[in-house]
Structure 1
């Protein structure tokens, strides 16, 4: 009885607490890309979304860019009402849209781009080897199986890495970008991690995943601290001046995440209050 009484009081408190807090979140003011003018917009620091947001609107309709170390933190800022929208890649944006009923993605696409891995300049041998591995992945159907599992939701494929005794292949990523890379109890998982395993197996080298801040990945590859960077890196001319890109392995869209105006369930708000998101 005491346990039931305790939880009853706690749930009642949480409903009151979350309900009171929610009223402070402003209603959505962004319904199209043009509405981003003069608004606060959250972005992942050092991402192409940050660049696109900074270039938007000219002198009279500029975006007030708010940078966050992870996309998750930008999304939480949007949920709290600290920013009016978030610019991010479509695949992780869909993950957050599915996770939080209070968010939605605008139909209008902000920008289209491609993902590729990176290797250091002048390391042409490694670049050719990685590209051969990517070609083989496509030819053998491994690539499609991976994407079907993580994005299509029609499979549960995972690439099994065989043991190897060569020099360690160090691949830098930032495991804060589902479904391409995210942290689990077993370590980083996701599309890029599966690709990393395949490349290491192709090269007959043991794999080491170096999980670092997103804005440190290019420097890590350029300096030799990592051999390859795989972190849903968009291909840009600015980055290409520092490192070489592999063949493209995915298409991406920069989309706009906004508050939907729909309330999240009471149970979800209680869980968020008690245990965090």
Structure 2
């Protein structure tokens, strides 16, 4: 009897919601050229913020809306508060896979490389990190890490060795999957965290991951609050004036994420809500 009541409520609710209208505007961004005069979400302190500021001419500028995290920008996009999000392709794919209401334009906005950061005066550490990165590639560790987090083909993780050396303090921002994000069982995880473990093992040092705002990482490394920064840093000439980059360990594309116009089945969504999925 209870099941019949729930199903009756389910179909009645579907009939009701089928007549309602959404306030979320339809997507109007189908190419990079469509960004002119649109509200575009960017993450503070990232190269996407810089590219957004340089986009277009006086009559075709986009309106950059700045967010602390990519998740906040995506929420604003889904709610119709902005028209698009400018971000790196790997994390964009993570969000798009989880939400059918998002899609990524085929055009590439910008190509760039990722590297770690070390203070200008810490040349010894820079050399050691670069040697560790070379060793990672030679031993296949690098490919195994990326196959795990991006390809989904392995369950590979770098184990943390016990060490007697000083702590290696690595600054990151755990808001940028698959490079760094939080996991209920394992804490902060991701490609950069695996690299940090490998580097710490190579140096014979224990590892401390320091989570902070992305915009604060460069200043922290420069001031000695952290030894190394690993947070999918794009290599730019401007940044290289104040910080040293390690050898790059990944290439990336800046892409445009928009609303797809597709939604989860109304029937399935309500069914899951009423019957517990």
Q: TM-score, normalised by structure 2?
A: 0.91
Superposition pairs of residues 1-277 of structure 1, within 5 angstroms = 23-185=22-184, 186-266=186-266
> What is the CA–CA distance in structure 2 between the aligned matches of 1:90 and 1:162, rounded to whole Å?
32
> What is the CA–CA distance in structure 1 between the aligned matches of 2:45 and 2:265, rounded to whole Å?
34
Secondary structure, in 3 states, of the residue corresponding to 2:165?
A: coil
Structure exhibiting the larger radius of gyration computed from Cα positions: 2
> What is the CA–CA distance in structure 1 between the aligned matches of 2:222 and 2:118, rounded to whole Å?
7
Matched-pair contact (CA < 8 Å) for 2:10–2:271:
no
Question: How far 1:264 sits from its partner (Å)?
Answer: 2.2
Secondary structure, in 3 states, of the residue corresponding to 1:112?
A: strand
Instruction: Report the RMSD for the aligned CA atoms in angstroms.
Output: 2.4
Secondary structure, in 3 states, of the residue corresponding to 2:85?
A: strand
> What is the CA–CA distance in structure 2 between the aligned matches of 1:119 and 1:271, rounded to whole Å?
52
Gaps of 5+ in 2: none
Question: How far 1:21 sits from its partner (Å)?
Answer: 8.1
Gaps of 5+ in 1: none
Question: How far 1:124 sits from its partner (Å)?
Answer: 0.3
Residues 17 and 162 (structure 1 numbering): CA distance in 2 closer, same or farther, change over 3 Å? farther
Moved segments of 4+, more than 4 Å: 4-22, 267-274
Q: TM-score, normalised by structure 1?
A: 0.91
Residues 72 and 7 (structure 1 numbering): CA distance in 2 closer, same or farther, change over 3 Å? farther
> What is the CA–CA distance in structure 2 between the aligned matches of 1:248 and 1:14, rounded to whole Å?
53
Question: How far 1:241 sits from its partner (Å)?
Answer: 1.5
Residues 52 and 20 (structure 1 numbering): CA distance in 2 closer, same or farther, change over 3 Å? farther
Secondary structure, in 3 states, of the residue corresponding to 1:264?
A: coil
> What is the CA–CA distance in structure 2 between the aligned matches of 1:69 and 1:272, rounded to whole Å?
32
> What is the CA–CA distance in structure 1 between the aligned matches of 2:132 and 2:260, rounded to whole Å?
42
Residues 69 and 11 (structure 1 numbering): CA distance in 2 closer, same or farther, change over 3 Å? farther
Q: Could you list the per-position Cα deviations for residues 228-253 of structure 1 after superposition, in whole angstroms to 9, with x for gaps in the alignment?
A: 00000101111111210000000000
- Aligned length, in residue pairs: 273
